[in-house]
Chains A and B, each alone.
Chain A
Amino acid sequence: MRLERFWLAAGAAGLGLLPWHGLEAPVAAILGWKQAAAPALFAGEPWLWPLVVPLLLGLGGERRALVGAGALGLVLALIQGLAIGLHGWDMAWLAQVFGPGPSQAAMGWGAVVYGVSCTMLLAIGLARMGWCRGDVFVLGALLLILGLVGLFVAWPVGAILRSAMQDNDGVYALGVFMEKLFNPGIWGLDCLSGGRGCGVAWNTLAQATLVGVLATLLGLAVALVAGRTRLPLRPVVRLLSLLPVITPPFVIGLALILLFGRVGIVTNFLAEHAGIPRTRWIYGMAGITIAQLLAFTPIAFLVLSGVLGAVSPSLEEAAQTLRAGRWHVFRTVTWPLIRPGLANAFLISFIESLADFANPLMLGGNFNVLATDIFFAVVGAAHDQGRAAVLALVLLGFTLTAFLAQRAWTGSRSYTTITGKGDAGLSAPLPAGLSAICVSVVGPWLVLTVVVYAIILGGGFVVTFGRDWTPTWQYLLTTFSVDHGVGGWFLSGSGWRSLITTMELAAIATPITAALGLLAAYLLDRQNFRGKGAFEFIAMMSFAVPGTVIGISYILAFNVPPIDLTGTGIIIIISFVFRNMPVGIRAGLASLAQIDRSLDEASASLRARSARTLRLVILPILRPAIVTAMVYSFVRAITTVSAVIFLVSGEYNLATVYIVGRADVGEYGVALVYSAVLIVVMAAVLLGMTALIGRQRIGRRGALAAPAEAIAL
């Protein structure tokens, strides 16, 4: 009973206390010193008054009344927001009927609170009617996530798809749409018959499949070397494989050009000493593949090492006791247990590669992929937004296929090995042959990584890389100098502002991302409700929509009331949250899949409700997943380029966009120095966060491994 009174009060506060319009400066607005910041009831806007009715309706506390109140409140708020815009009626037929109508600004904090309250009232009412076994927490979380995802993923994507159906004048034209969709530029297969290039769709698909497979295998090799061998390589592997995650991806492309370009240092060396002619092989599929492997293998590694670490050793020990050889154990016990992890790793690298924008931009040469084609369809000389939207449709089709394939692969089998029972085994060592293969693959990759990072970290401290090796501080000073002036010390370097903005926005987005992601994972894994498949697809979709399309669609969807966010920091935070949420979901799902439900059931049989079970039982076990989700979403927020390139403004400029701009005009020195600083800062944050939240300790292994690692480090 207390619960619905709380949400009724919150809804009333949203109407009567908080400013209904305007999202900036909540504190100043709440103090109420501006007419524009008036609460809904005192704003002089009669169309907002009916919003009181649902709250009155809910006062009785009867379950049907609560459902009605929540639903009615949401519908009323939505209708008035969509109908009345900044310049009068937003719907043409309303203007025809009523003439020029009233106008209002975009929704603000009051509307946010009111919307959340109505959602919660709806959840309480539905729970009392027996939905989701009467669990208010589950229903509330479900409705909240659905609402947010619908608002910030489905709606913008809908906006861009709508513009795919329109020609450049905004008229719906199905013929043009079909023509664009089946364009030979997208689907042509001329490369098979020789000579001409293939369609961009096939290029993208081939590229992503190649990178997905290679990154998964490489990630598995690294995970096995790091987790299942006694090589002293282990701490090095852990550190180096994490480095690419904290790197703005296009900087890797830059370093590869400096290494293997036609006048790169390796190419120069080979040409002068071995007489190997200079070619431009790095520009194209080969270069993109190497760069994407450097960028995405660590992601595959993160997924796989988590899964590998959670394979219960007692099963492997049991197999060994039954006299199975190392190969036999690996093939029949370990391998089947890490298969869902492999599918996840492949899926993630496949989609990352599909949506990757920066590496094809740097290294693509004449090899085109969808993500960059979309970008250039929008900003290029052709200015064809419709074509961009059609290309985005094709890309979405591919990701949908990836999801279906992933489901078929993991199927309905159970991979649970960590249970409530005691677990005191030690993992089986790798078969010798496999171990040798892994090491021989991982070794060269690590060397390449080290060299690439040496260039990224050091390249900004010489005058011109590869030509003039004189050491210089010049680029660092341009970017990050601090000066003493009349008003005391101030940050005079050109890069400070974007760096600070980036850190602030990413820090705000990180906990929100992790919380939403893990909550969604929990709902998907532990709760049953209708439309679960659709829910998962929509939640994961933002991961698959190329960032450039997200950027454009956010501008299209959120530039006018009822939701007016462009040019603010909020829109950047939202794009971070919903683009990176799937990472949290994946991390949570992979871990939850291995925690037996009997733990939940035990908790439930002790009469704990779902919220309590989540807090006291599941979250502590999920700690590694939480760390992964937080670290990764923070880092991804900082390193993302494509999604925010359209969203930055003068006030909210971001580090990566600044770096791309510098690299764009050939100022590699500044670009490299800034990247190096960014990497150092992120590494510090990453280590701090890991230390703060702690490591996974399940059974004896964690406790045993930790001192060994401390010694090795």
Chain B
Amino acid sequence: MISRSAGLRCLVTAAGLMLAGMASASAQGTLVMYCGVDEAWCRAMSTTFEKQTGVHVDMTRQSSGEIYARLRAEKANPRGDIWWGGTGDPHLQAAEEGLTEEYKSPKLSEMNEWAVKQAERGQFRTVGIYMGALGFGYNKEELARRKLAAPACWADLVKPEYKGEVQMADPNSSGTAYTALATFVQIMGEEPAFAFLKKLHANINEYTKAGAAPAQSAGKGETLIGIAFQHDVITVAKRKLPVVVVSPCEGTGYEIGSMSIVKGARHPDEARRFYDWALTPEAQKIGAEFGSFQFPSNKATPVPPEAPDLSKVKLIAYDFATFGSSATRTRLLSRWTNEVKNLPR
């Protein structure tokens, strides 16, 4: 008796909250979306979905690290329904900790293999929605001013003429930089990779906090070379800044942007509806229209012409299981912090 009326009360309270706080909420329901990509893309996704379904979307944009922290904090009383976008590792971590809900979308069969692999790694608590390859960008004006040759490989970045000219994010704070760290270890092997990173350290002018910051700095000329995801560099270049994207000759790692449904979501039906919709080609092509040029996960989605040509990008067989595990992550990060970060230059 008590529990039934309590359940009813919960429901009515939720309804009251909605009526009170969201005057515009329609009869079609509400979806609380935590969005981990660029603001313009987030907004376009939420408004398009709202337009097509009538479901009111309450969207908050944050970095994937912030969203992960928020999910953990809200664990006892979840507020969000769906976590869309952002690099795959925190999604996997959330799946591992049971913060997200298992769901097998009927659209799963239309996905590229790497997207399904991501879902399998996360016990179907997450799914890949886009892929982005790591690389670096250089500022061609600054390069010309210094009369330097353009870098083409990871190995070029440790050349002495680039001393103080390379920027990279701090892997302790940025998923992008951790992908770079893991990529070096997988291409070269751990010991040579750390020797490389120590040499690279001499050329680094700053370890930034945010992953996309080196790409922007390269665009503005605050640094000559910035290590970042290639699509981030392209986004900067599209803003008519003199930056050139490079896909390193040795091959490179990549991220899988993911989507998860929050466990205990208050609007599970709407969340699943969004989930299915977000995997369709028509939803996935929105990214390119709003200046985000990742490689979409649905096989039928037209690949934006600006996206890095995957036939020319040498992708390594990135081992997400090993390098996404928190044991490897903690070990590599503390080794990097102790052996590389604090070295004198």
Known contacts A86-B77, A380-B174; is-contact A36 B12 (Cβ 8 Å): yes
Establish whether residues B16 and A29, one from each chain, have CB atoms under 8 Å apart when the complex forms: yes
Known contacts A381-B333, A555-B70; is-contact A566 B222 (Cβ 8 Å): no
| B212, chain A: closest CB distance, angstroms | 7
**Is A28 among interface residues, defined by CB-CB distance under 8 A?**
yes
Number of interface residues of A (CB under 8 A): 67
Return chain A residues, CB-CB under 8 Å to B209: 361, 364, 372, 376, 380
**Is A552 among interface residues, defined by CB-CB distance under 8 A?**
yes
**Is A133 among interface residues, defined by CB-CB distance under 8 A?**
no
| A626, chain B: closest CB distance, angstroms | 33
Q: Provide the bound-state CA to CA distance between A382 and B38, in Å.
A: 22
**Is B60 among interface residues, defined by CB-CB distance under 8 A?**
yes
Q: Which interface residue of B22, B142, B209 has the most chain A CB atoms within 10 A?
A: B209
Residue on A nearest B8 in the bound complex, by CB? A35
Return chain B residues, CB-CB under 8 Å to A564: 77
Within 8 Å by CB of A661, from B58, B61, B142, lies B61
Q: Identify which of residues 202-259 in chain A touch chain B, using a CB-to-CB cut-off of 8 Å.
A: 257
**Is B43 among interface residues, defined by CB-CB distance under 8 A?**
yes
CB-defined interface of B236-269 with A at 8 Å, one 1/0 digit per residue?
1001110000000000000000000000000000
Known contacts A105-B9, A560-B76; is-contact A649 B60 (Cβ 8 Å): yes
Establish whether residues B89 and A646, one from each chain, have CB atoms under 8 Å apart when the complex forms: no
Establish whether residues A666 and B239, one from each chain, have CB atoms under 8 Å apart when the complex forms: yes
**Is A688 among interface residues, defined by CB-CB distance under 8 A?**
no
Return chain B residues, CB-CB under 8 Å to A103: 2-3, 6
Q: Identify which of residues 22-71 in chain B touch chain A, using a CB-to-CB cut-off of 8 Å.
A: 22, 32-33, 38-39, 43, 57-61, 63, 65-66, 68-70
Residue on B nearest A645 in the bound complex, by CB? B66
Establish whether residues A567 and B93, one from each chain, have CB atoms under 8 Å apart when the complex forms: no
Return chain B residues, CB-CB under 8 Å to A649: 32, 58, 60, 79
Return chain A residues, CB-CB under 8 Å to B60: 648-650, 653
**Is A104 among interface residues, defined by CB-CB distance under 8 A?**
yes
**Is B311 among interface residues, defined by CB-CB distance under 8 A?**
no
Within 8 Å by CB of B16, from A22, A555, A653, lies A22
**Is A651 among interface residues, defined by CB-CB distance under 8 A?**
yes
Q: Identify which of residues 76-111 in chain A touch chain B, using a CB-to-CB cut-off of 8 Å.
A: 86, 100, 102-105
Establish whether residues B175 and A36, one from each chain, have CB atoms under 8 Å apart when the complex forms: no
Return chain B residues, CB-CB under 8 Å to A378: 65, 69
Q: Provide the bound-state CA to CA distance between A195 and B240, in Å.
A: 39
Return chain B residues, CB-CB under 8 Å to A197: 342
CB-defined interface of B181-212 with A at 8 Å, one 1/0 digit per residue?
00000000000000000000000011101101
Establish whether residues B222 and A261, one from each chain, have CB atoms under 8 Å apart when the complex forms: yes
Establish whether residues A195 and B77, one from each chain, have CB atoms under 8 Å apart when the complex forms: no
Q: Provide the bound-state CA to CA distance between A376 and B93, in Å.
A: 17
CB-defined interface of B91-132 with A at 8 Å, one 1/0 digit per residue?
001000000000000000000000000000000000000000
CB-defined interface of A174-215 with B at 8 Å, one 1/0 digit per residue?
000000000001000010001111000000000000000000
Establish whether residues A566 and B171, one from each chain, have CB atoms under 8 Å apart when the complex forms: no
**Is A291 among interface residues, defined by CB-CB distance under 8 A?**
no
Establish whether residues A383 and B93, one from each chain, have CB atoms under 8 Å apart when the complex forms: yes
Establish whether residues A559 and B74, one from each chain, have CB atoms under 8 Å apart when the complex forms: yes
Establish whether residues A381 and B38, one from each chain, have CB atoms under 8 Å apart when the complex forms: no
Establish whether residues B79 and A566, one from each chain, have CB atoms under 8 Å apart when the complex forms: yes
Establish whether residues B70 and A651, one from each chain, have CB atoms under 8 Å apart when the complex forms: no
Residue on B nearest A196 in the bound complex, by CB? B342
**Is B135 among interface residues, defined by CB-CB distance under 8 A?**
no
The 7 residue pairs across chains A and B that have the minimum distance between CB atoms: A25-B20, A195-B344, A380-B173, A650-B58, A379-B65, A263-B221, A376-B173
Binding site for A on B (CB under 8 A): 2-3, 5-6, 8-10, 12-13, 16-17, 19-22, 32-33, 38-39, 43, 57-61, 63, 65-66, 68-70, 72-74, 76-77, 79, 89-90, 93, 142, 164, 170-175, 177-178, 205-207, 209-210, 212, 216, 219-223, 235-236, 239-241, 329-330, 333, 337, 342-344
Pairs A–B under 8 Å by Cβ, sample size 22: A25-B17, A35-B8, A36-B9, A44-B5, A195-B344, A197-B342, A257-B222, A262-B222, A361-B209, A365-B206, A366-B206, A380-B174, A381-B65, A381-B174, A381-B178, A381-B329, A382-B330, A383-B72, A559-B76, A650-B33, A651-B21, A666-B239
Binding site for B on A (CB under 8 A): 21-22, 24-25, 28-29, 34-37, 44, 86, 100, 102-105, 185, 190, 194-197, 257, 261-263, 280, 283, 361, 364-366, 372, 376, 378-383, 385, 464, 467-468, 494, 552, 555-556, 559-560, 564, 566-568, 645-646, 648-651, 653, 661-662, 664-666
